[in-house]
Amino acid sequence: MKALLAECGGVDPRHVDEQTAFVADLALDSLVLVRMTVLAEERFGLRIPDEVAWELHTVGAVVDHVEETLAGRIGAERE
């Protein structure tokens, strides 16, 4: 996630933690957030629906969503 923030928003990863808010703390605009969502989908091989993406306001929320999605996929593959 920190690498995506650095790439898309020019954010110094040293100033980011799970509580960091994209808009309130980093002042990222909607175009940066859309680009970051698309890159996350490509890198992690998953889909983040628009209605979900707009509810993910912090770095930690995105990380949790990606982990839950990937864990669900792995669980489904094992069944």
Instruction: Convert the pLDDT of each residue in 42-64 to its tens digit.
Output: 999 999 999 999 999 999 999 99
**Whether 23 contacts 57, CB under 8 Å:** yes
Domains within the chain, CATH numbers bracketed: 2-78 (1.10.1200.10)
Q: Could you read off the pLDDT of 13-44 as tens digits, one per residue?
A: 999 999 999 999 999 999 999 999 999 999 99
How much is the CA Rg of the chain, to the nearest whole Å?
Answer: 13
Q: Which residues lie below 8 Å from residue 52, measured CB to CB, with a gap of 6+?
A: 65
What does pTM read for this prediction?
0.84
